[in-house]
Amino acid sequence: MTAQALKVEDLSFSYATKKALNNVSFSVAAGECTILLGQNGAGKSTLFSLITRLYDTRAGKIELCGFDVKQQTRLALAKLGVVFQQTTLDLDLTVTQNLRYHAALHGMSRKAANLRIAEELERLNMLERRNEKVRQLNGGHKRRVEIARALLHQPALLLLDEPTVGLDMPSRQAIVEHVHKLASEHQLAVLWATHLIDEVYPEDRLLMLHKGEIKAKGTISDVLQITETDNIGAAFKQIAKETVL
Amino acid sequence: MSLLHFLRAMWGIVGRELWRFIQQKERFISALVRPLIWLFVFAAGFRNTLGMAIAPPYETYILYEVYITPGLIGMIQLFNGMQSSLTMVYDREMGSMRILLVSPLPRWFLLICKLIAGTAVSILQVYVFLGIAWFYDIQAPLQGYLLILPALILDGLMLGALGLLLSSFIRQLENFAGVMNFVIFPLFFMSTALYPLWKIQESSALLHNLASYNPFSQGVELIRFALYGQFNQQAFIYTLAAFIIFMIAAIIGYTPSKGMMTRKGGD
């Protein structure tokens, strides 16, 4: 049996009068890269805010490695690495200082933190830039630092909320490739929110979210079958169209 | 979750704030310039207008500059508490607070760490201010400089907790101007920072009541007495109670299931 890193069951959420998520259920297993496809306003960011416990889960259940996010918050969050859509680095601190801060929040000793920082930066070809202030880095490099940071405490699940927005093509490709490699080689579970279909790899699983509801999920062929289309782009359009009709 | 984890996280948060403060020289200078202008310009100008009767903790007639020094210390801590609040709102708008909130630590602990960090920064500013005031001939008994430390810690925590509470209600950075008008100014001017209670009573009974119940006044009095080696029990209990109330309210404000976080719809 495959271990489920993330399990979401019957999740619903509303802002005052607007329903943002409606009965959302899915799971992400270790070593699996799941792409959460949805247009702006589909509910991707709300879903991420609920998984990371920035918002309270009122209806439904979220489990991270078997820990209920609402009841066992700290145990659950310890298993989670996140890259948010907006940069969350401190621009006036160096790369290493930013990473050490994160390591401290996860209770890592200075020695363990230094070791992990060197490992992750090396893997992303950023080690030689570790003493530079984040302000001096370009968008792609900042993203790399954020990915390194999310992985410092060796989480079981990596959440990425549109991490390639605003990046040039080579930077985007490098990040997409790196994350897919992490899933396959390190058995990391990945949930990647995007609206860019060229970030999907053939072996990925898909979750198509539209207006707060999951319209299709499974492997690429499952989704194409459900939507009766022959490519992801068409499936994506089909789902948006169906709801309009 | 071990004690070591908590200590490392606390050091991480406090160390980061101190480092940022040291790096931001403009912030340091502007934090000092404000009370120094009050001391060198305002107090000097009013020296002859506002006569001071002998009242505890002072044992002789004092100059107006001497009287307002504890008030200006309170001002430093008040502005610092509000600055921390501003930083929280900014961090929330910019997203960097998320990294703190998704760490595997209880929210109350994270807020207390932020509070300790802010208080440490304000104490640093106060001692530099007192150092400058010393050369301006405003000198308290030497032991006062040590005895003032616990008062500064409590006052800093109380005003920082008020800042945290406000930050849980403020949706956007733009709304912060309101804090200036509706919180900082009333707290500061309706207090014993600039004039003693008996003097306020002479002009308005209502103002006198407001000033005596103002927690900022009590914090200032705690500092004033401590600086002259005396313990003001009433001020201590009042400041401590205000700290506890503000802190509990701030923690509720930041709890996902109870507070403002969900209702904001942003962060």
What pLDDT, on a 0 to 100 scale, did the predictor assign at position B173? 63
A136 found inside a domain: yes
Helix or strand run (H / E) with residue A56: none
- Judged by a CB distance cut-off of 8 A, whether residue B13 touches chain A is yes
Residue A69 shares a structural domain with residue A138: no
Nearest-neighbour CA in chain B from A135: distance (Å): 14
| DSSP result, B80-91 | HHHHHHHHHHHH
Per DSSP, the three-state class of B243 is helix
pLDDT reported for residue A81: 94
Residue A84 domain-assigned?
A: no
Helix (H) or strand (E) holding A26: strand A18-29
Whether residue A103 contacts residue A116, with contact meaning beta carbons closer than 8 Å, is answered with yes
Look up residue B112 and give its two tokens: 């207390």
Q: B12 CA to chain A: closest CA distance, Å?
A: 5
C-alpha count within 13 angstroms, C-beta hemisphere, residue B189: 7
Instruction: Give the pLDDT of residue B130.
Output: 94
Which of these three, A154, A181, A202, is where a domain ends?
A: A154
Total number of domains in chain A: 2
A40 vs B125: CA distance, rounded Å = 46
Please, what are the averages of pLDDT over each run of 10 residues along chain A (245 residues)?
Answer: 82 87 92 90 88 88 92 91 87 91 92 93 88 90 91 93 84 88 90 87 90 88 86 83 55
| Domain endpoint, select from A154, A169, A200 | A154
| Whether B22 contacts chain A with CB within 8 A | no
On whether the CB atoms of residues B138 and B66 are closer than 8 A, the answer is yes
Domain count, chain B: 1
Taking the Cβ of residue B12 and every Cβ of chain A, the question of whether any pair is shorter than 8 Å is answered with yes
Q: Is-contact A74 B106, C-beta < 8 A?
A: yes
Residues A57 and A10 in one domain: yes
Instruction: Read off the pLDDT of residues B161-193 as tens digits, 9 standing for 90 and up.
Output: 998 888 887 766 666 677 777 888 888 888 888
Range of the domain at A10: 4-79+155-244
**Tokens standing for B75?**
């001002």
My answer on whether omega of the bond before B57 falls inside 30° of 0, hence cis, is yes
Each residue's pLDDT tens digit, B109-123: 988 998 999 999 999
Clarify whether residues A161 and A150 are in a common domain: no
Q: Judge if A8 and A72 occupy the same domain.
A: yes
Quote the ipTM score. 0.80
Last residue of some domain: A127, A154, A181? Answer: A154
B183 within some domain = yes
Q: Do A72 and A10 reside in the same domain of the chain? A: yes
At residue B125, the pLDDT reads 92
B18 touches chain A (CB under 8 A): no
In this prediction, residue A118 carries a pLDDT of 93
Interchain pair B1, A74: CB under 8 A: yes
Cβ atoms of residues B187 and B78 within 8 Å: yes
In a domain, B118, yes or no: yes
Print the domain residue range for B73. 3-261
B 66-95 residues with CB below 8 A of A? 94-95
**R_g of chain B, CA atoms, integer Å:** 19
Three-state SS for A209?
A: strand
- A110 → chain B, closest CA residue: B8
Choose the closest CB to B103 out of A86, A93, A106: A106
Which pairing describes strands A80-83 and A67-68: parallel, antiparallel, or unpaired?
unpaired
Nearest alpha-carbon partner for A133 in A160, A97, A172: A97
User: Does the pLDDT of residue B263 top 70, yes or no?
Assistant: no
The DSSP 8-state label assigned to residue B231 in this structure reads -
Q: What does the radius of gyration of chain A's CA atoms come to, in whole angstroms? A: 18
A117 in the same domain as A173:
no
What is the reported pLDDT for B42?
Answer: 84
CA distance B110 to chain A (A): 9
Distance from CA of B101 to the nearest CA of A (A): 7
Residues A129 and A48 in one domain: no
The answer to whether residues A109 and A127 belong to one domain is yes
Residues present in chain A in total: 245
- Residues from chain B that touch A82, judged by Cβ atoms under 8 A, are 98-99, 102
Contact list in B for residue A102 (CB cut-off 8 A) is: 99, 103
Answer yes or no: do A74 and A29 share one domain. yes
Any A CB within 8 A of B131 CB: no
Distance in angstroms (rounded) separating the CA atoms of residues B49 and B47? 6
Are residues A169 and A222 both part of a single domain?
A: yes
∠ Cα B197 B200 B201 (to 5°) = 85
Arithmetic mean of pLDDT over chain B:
84
Domain assignment of residue B267, yes or no: no
Question: Phi/psi of residue B11, each to 5°?
Answer: -65, -40
Helix (H) or strand (E) holding B207: helix B205-213
In-domain check, residue A88: no
